């Protein structure tokens, strides 16, 4: 029988939902059935305790359309959210199929927005669909004195690889890490930069640097998932001013701010501008 015929059958249907979470090349594959499901080269694992969701809705209102997946507290895909949000989004694709069939149907595309642990043995994974991402308000670019792009972006054009410092964590205290190699740089050199480290399969997690002084870096989100002796990569930061762009990165021709703005708006109602 085909997927469509089993979907409309009164007795022959054995529906199974497939969840494919992805971050770069990393994959977490689960299914709602009682045994592992092999589809092509991928194995969707059954989950002890079960995995389910509250149903896919398309009302057009992002908050109402949130998909909530209920799963065991120790499910692997939820663990990066234990202490803080991971540095890269984790996407989700949902397929529906019937057991024994080689056909599956796409049902949903989105990404994880939040994970909660309402009970010791349960987690709730909240996901938003791609429409919610498109509906986010706010200007992509603005007219301001400071630069409006991100350090190292295609618009910035600074190559960060020669500027990064590969080092090893010598000590940490829950809020900050320390490495002697960082003391060779002036205080604040790495402020607003970031630290990253490998998490497997070519992927890196990262933390923003709140403050740099001597050999110490205070990290936003603390030192969770880091350990003494661990190899890290440290990148410098930028305060997005023209003086820093020129003196620190020699990149003034690509500066996207307007430092000569006089501070008076032509739209404030004053007839004399």
| Two tokens, residue 264 | 């008076």
Within 8 A by CB and 6+ apart from 193, the residues are 151, 208, 209, 212, 234, 235, 236, 237, 238
Are 209 and 219 within 8 A, CB to CB?
yes
In b/e form, how buried is each residue of 216-254, taking b as 16+ CB within 10 angstroms? bbbbeebbebbeeeeebbbbbbbebbbebbeebbebeee
pLDDT > 90 fraction of the chain, expressed in percent and rounded:
63
For tokens 């045994």, name the residue: 35
User: What pLDDT shows up at residue 73?
Assistant: 95
Question: What is the reported pTM?
Answer: 0.79
User: What pLDDT shows up at residue 273?
Assistant: 53
Q: What is the mean pLDDT of residues 55-80?
A: 87
Asked if residue 75 has pLDDT above 70, the reply is yes
| Two tokens, residue 47 | 């989950």
Are 140 and 118 within 8 A, CB to CB?
no
Q: What is the mean pLDDT of residues 28-41?
A: 92
Helices (H), 91-232: 130-134
- For the chain, what is the mean pLDDT? 89
Which phi and psi angles does 204 have, rounded to 5°? -125, 140
- pLDDT grade, residue 5 (50/70/90)? low
pLDDT digits (tens, 9 = 90+) for 111-134: 999 999 999 999 999 999 877 766
- pLDDT grade, residue 162 (50/70/90)? very high
What domains sit in the chain, N to C, each tagged with a CATH number? 3-134 (2.40.10), 165-235 (2.40.10.170)
């Amino acid at each position: 029988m085909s997927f469509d015929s089993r979907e409309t059958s009164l007795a022959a249907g054995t529906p199974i939902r497939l969840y494919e979470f992805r971050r770069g090349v990393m994959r977490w594959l689960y299914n709602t059935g009682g045994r592992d499901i092999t589809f092509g080269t991928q194995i969707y694992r059954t989950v002890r305790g079960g995995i389910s969701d509250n149903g896919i809705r398309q009302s057009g209102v992002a908050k109402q359309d949130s998909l909530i997946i209920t799963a065991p507290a120790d499910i692997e895909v939820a663990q990066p959210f234990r202490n803080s949000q991971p540095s890269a989004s984790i996407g989700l694709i949902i397929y529906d199929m019937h057991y024994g069939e080689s056909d599956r149907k796409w049902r949903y595309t989105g990404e994880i927005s939040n994970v909660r642990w309402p009970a010791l043995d349960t987690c709730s994974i909240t996901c938003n669909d791609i429409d919610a991402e498109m509906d986010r308000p706010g200007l992509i670019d603005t007219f301001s004195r400071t630069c409006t792009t991100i350090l190292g972006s295609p618009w910035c054009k600074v190559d960060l690889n020669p500027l990064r410092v590969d080092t090893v964590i010598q000590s940490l205290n829950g809020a900050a890490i320390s490495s002697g190699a960082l003391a060779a740089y002036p205080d604040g050199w790495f402020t607003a930069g970031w630290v990253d480290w490998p998490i497997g399969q070519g992927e890196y997690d990262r933390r923003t640097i709140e403050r740099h002084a001597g050999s110490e870096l205070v990290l936003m989100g603390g030192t969770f998932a880091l350990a003494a002796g661990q190899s890290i990569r440290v990148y410098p930061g930028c305060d997005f001013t023209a003086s820093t762009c020129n003196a620190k990165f020699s990149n003034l021709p690509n500066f996207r701010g307007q430092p000569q703005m006089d501070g008076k708006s032509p739209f404030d109602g004053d007839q004399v501008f």
